[in-house]
C-alpha cells in the first residue's frame, strides 16, 4: 500500500512513523486511518522491527485529532463515514497494542482529540517541553474514540480522565509528566534524538519479552488475581524457553551483556 499521509521508514530495527499532514496539524482523515492500519500490520509482521516511534510532521502539532473539515464535508453521510474511519483506526490501535515491538510516542506539539488517544495507546511517550494535551471532543459535542476511554482512564484514573473530557482543559508537558501521561519531557530540539535513543535501547532488547509485558498489562485490569497469575506463568515459561530467554540466562552466568535477537 502506498502512503500519502504517513511517512514510514525502518532503520536499524526501529520503525519511524510520521503523520505527515502539517497543514491540517496532522489531523486524521479516512485515508490516514487506512494507512495507519497498514503500517500497524507491517510493524506487527516484520521481524526486523523491534521498536517503533510515532510522531507528527513539523513543530506545531503531534496530531490535532480527527479532520473536522472532512466531517463537515460529509454531513449527509457522517454516520457511515465515522463508522468506516473508526473501523480502520481502532483496528490499527489493536494491532499496535498487541504487537511485540514497543511503540513510543514522540509528542512534538499539540495532541488533541484522537491525538490524545494516540499518546495514550502508545506504550511509552516522550514529549517536547512545548507539547500540550487536550481532549477537545466535547467542544464539538462528540465523545472520545481511538481507544481513549480505555487507555486514558487506566493511565490517569477516572476522575482526571473525566475532567479532561468534560472541561477540555489544556495540560502542559510538565503536567502530563506529573500525571503519568508521558514518561519523559525533553527540550523540543532534542525530541527525536531522545526518542531514537530510547527506541534503540528497546530494539536491542528481548522483543518477545517486551511483547509479553504488553500483553500482561493489557489483560491485568479485567482478570482475577488467579487468572492473571496463570497468564504470568504461561508467559514466563514462553519467554524463558525462547532463544532470547536462553541467551539471557547464559549471559548472566557468563557475566556478560546478552546479545538478544528478538527471537
> Which residues are marked as active site?
90, 145
104, 121 contact by CB (below 8 A): no
Round to whole Å and give the CA distance between 204 and 259. Answer: 8
Q: Which three cell numbers stand for residue 73?
A: 464535508
Q: Residue 97 is inside which H or E element, if any?
A: helix 78-98
89, 82 contact by CB (below 8 A): no
Torsion, Cα 183 215 97 194, to 10 degrees, reads 30
Output the DSSP codes for 155-186: HH-HHHHHHHHHH-PPEEHHHHHHHTS-SEEE
Residue 14, beta-bridge partner list: 11, 51
Q: Residue 3 is inside which H or E element, if any?
A: none
Round to whole Å and give the CA distance between 78 and 71. Answer: 6
53, 15 contact by CB (below 8 A): yes
Place of cell 493511565: 155
**Closest by alpha carbon to 35, among 53, 18, 50, 15?**
18
Sequence-distant (≥ 6) Cβ neighbours of residue 51 within 8 angstroms: 13, 14, 15, 101, 102, 103, 104, 199, 200, 202, 203
Amino acid at each position: 500500500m502506498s502512503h500519502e499521509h504517513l511517512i514510514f521508514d525502518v532503520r536499524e530495527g526501529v520503525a519511524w512513523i510520521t503523520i505527515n499532514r502539517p497543514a491540517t496539524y496532522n489531523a486524521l482523515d479516512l485515508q490516514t486511518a487506512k494507512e495507519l492500519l497498514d503500517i500497524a500490520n507491517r510493524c506487527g509482521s516484520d521481524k526486523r522491527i523491534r521498536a517503533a516511534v510515532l510522531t507528527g510532521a513539523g513543530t506545531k502539532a503531534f496530531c490535532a485529532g480527527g479532520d473536522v473539515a472532512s466531517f463537515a464535508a460529509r454531513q449527509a453521510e457522517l454516520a457511515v463515514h465515522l463508522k468506516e474511519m473508526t473501523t480502520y483506526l481502532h483496528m490499527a490501535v489493536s494491532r499496535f497494542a498487541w504487537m511485540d515491538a514497543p511503540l513510543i510516542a514522540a509528542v512534538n506539539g499539540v495532541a488533541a482529540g484522537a491525538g490524545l488517544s494516540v499518546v495514550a495507546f502508545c506504550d511509552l511517550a516522550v514529549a517536547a517541553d512545548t507539547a500540550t494535551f487536550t481532549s477537545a471532543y466535547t467542544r464539538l459535542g462528540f465523545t472520545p474514540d481511538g481507544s481513549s476511554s480505555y487507555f486514558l482512564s487506566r493511565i490517569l484514573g477516572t476522575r482526571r480522565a473525566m475532567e479532561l473530557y468534560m472541561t477540555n482543559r489544556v495540560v502542559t508537558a510538565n503536567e502530563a509528566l506529573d500525571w503519568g501521561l508521558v514518561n519523559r519531557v525533553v527540550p523540543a530540539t532534542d525530541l527525536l534524538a531522545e526518542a531514537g535513543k530510547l527506541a534503540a535501547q528497546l530494539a536491542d532488547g528481548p522483543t518477545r519479552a517486551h511483547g509479553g509485558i504488553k500483553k500482561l498489562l493489557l489483560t491485568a485490569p479485567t482478570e482475577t488475581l488467579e487468572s492473571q497469575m496463570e497468564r504470568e506463568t504461561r508467559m514466563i515459561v514462553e519467554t524463558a524457553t525462547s532463544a532470547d530467554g536462553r541467551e539471557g540466562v547464559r549471559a548472566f552466568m557468563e557475566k556478560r551483556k546478552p546479545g538478544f535477537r528478538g527471537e
